[in-house]
Amino acid sequence: MNVPFLNPGAQTAPLRPALLAAMTEVLDRGHFILGPNVTALENEIAAFVGARHGIGVNSGSDALTLALKALELGPGDEIITTPFTYIAPAESIHQVGAKIVFADIDPRRFTLDPADVARRITPRTRAILPVHLFGQAAPLEALLPLAERHGLKLVEDCAQSIGATWQGRSTGSVGHIGCFSFYPTKNLGADGDGGMCVTQDEALAKRLRMLRVHGIEKRYHHDLHGFNSRLDELQAAILRVKLPHLSAWNARRGEIAAQYTAGLADLPVQLPAAATGNTHIWHVFALLTDQRDALQAHLTAHGVPTLIYYPVPLHLQKCYADQGWRAGDYPVAEDVSRRILPLPMYPELTEEQVAHVIQVIRGFFTQ
């Protein structure tokens, strides 16, 4: 049996008639950028996450950069984020000219360790940028009071956490700005690039709306240094077809996570779990094992290819060689990078495929 690691096309098949109808409507209307579907999607996503405003942008990466710009962060400012994630949050800090300050991660949740964040706050720190990694909230119960105590902005990277909650509140609705990605393999994926900022703050929403179109409020009058980061109508129309299914898809991921957990519980691996107060949307189900590379090879040999998220923590990436970070600076992130193994996780996985993955892993440990 073959189990693809990711399979975004599988989600499209049952929605094909609705997707084609939505796309045809856009083609017939002839309004392709920032039209009625973008406005409707902004309202629908804002309502879904419990925020007052949604601002559609080009990608999750742009959502982060525009968020930092909207908060007027830049040269001379330090922003604390995680070294164990996709590179976009660190890139956004670099893009606005601020200084990236990494703090180490918690070995169970893989998200920012608040104690290490606290240690790295200086008089120049202006913001904390936690990533709600793999589908569950970073420890906002500690990060939020820390940010408040030091007068820091809190920007939530929700690229992997749409629909996840922390103490009953959706990720993205808690900090100053929440940033979402609609990259095709995300829990809510477009058929191309897309992203969104959400905020409770009207003034920030206005700035974000201006920043995404060259800093304009009125056409050809540029009040801010802006960007071209518009969300297009076709992607918005596609996302509006998919959004009503998101909760059911997230629930199905939860079932698969429960099956993996039950099937692997007695093995010598560390399994992921939702922290108290969190609901998890299982964007990624990743275990930790000292035999990661051998287990990965065994899975591949049995029809289960996998991808490592993330094999090199950000402080050790070549593009940051000039920043002076060294191996050993963030020991937990480095250890997790060596031992982590994500398993196939998407709602369309069949019972047989999940059972096969479990059986292959059990075979590895009992051979």
- Interface residues with ligand PLP (CB under 6 A) are 59-61, 85-86, 88-89, 131, 157, 159-160, 181, 183, 193, 195
Closest distance of CB 4 from ligand PLP, Å: 19
Nearest partner of 59 among 192, 201, 211, 226, judged by Cα:
192
Nearer to ligand PLP by Cβ, of 182 and 364: the residue is 182
Q: Which token pair is 7?
A: 């399979």
Q: How far is the CB of 315 from ligand PLP (least distance, A)?
A: 16
Calculate the CA 364 to chain-centre distance.
31
Both tokens of 244, joined, read 């009503």
Question: Rounded CA gap, 37 and 40, in Å?
Answer: 5
Nearest Cα neighbor of 128 from 105, 91, 108, 156 is 156
Q: Kindly state the smallest distance separating residue 357's Cβ from ligand PLP, in Å.
A: 22
Q: Quick one: 161 or 289, whose CB is closer to ligand PLP?
A: 161
Nearest distance from C-beta of residue 68 to ligand PLP, angstroms: 13
DSSP of 225-276: ---B-PPBHHHHHHHHHHGGGHHHHHHHHHHHHHHHHHHHTTSSSBPP-PPT
Nearer to ligand PLP, 159 or 281 (CB): 159
- Residue 184 beta carbon to ligand PLP: minimum distance, rounded to whole angstroms: 9
d(CA 316, CA 214): 34
Shortest distance, CB of residue 339 to ligand PLP, whole angstroms? 20
Task: Decide whether 144 or 179 has the Cβ nearer to ligand PLP.
Answer: 179
Q: Which is nearer to ligand PLP, 193 or 334 (CB)?
A: 193
The smaller minimum CB distance to ligand PLP, of residues 139 and 195, is found at 195
CA-nearest of 174, 187, 178 to 282 is 187
Single out the residue of 34, 44, 50, 51 nearest to residue 209, CA to CA.
34
* Spatial separation of the C-alpha atoms in residues 354 and 352, rounded to whole Å: 5
3-class secondary structure per residue, 134-165: HHCCCCHHHHHHHHHHHCCEEEEECCCCCCCE
Q: How far apart are CA 225 and CA 236, in angstroms?
A: 25
Q: In terms of CB distance, is 38 or 269 closer to ligand PLP?
A: 38
Short-list 59, 4, 12, CA closest to 245 = 12
Residue whose CB is nearest to ligand PLP in the complex, by number: 60
Q: How far is the CB of 133 from ligand PLP (least distance, A)?
A: 7
Q: Name the minimum Å distance from CB 275 to ligand PLP.
A: 18
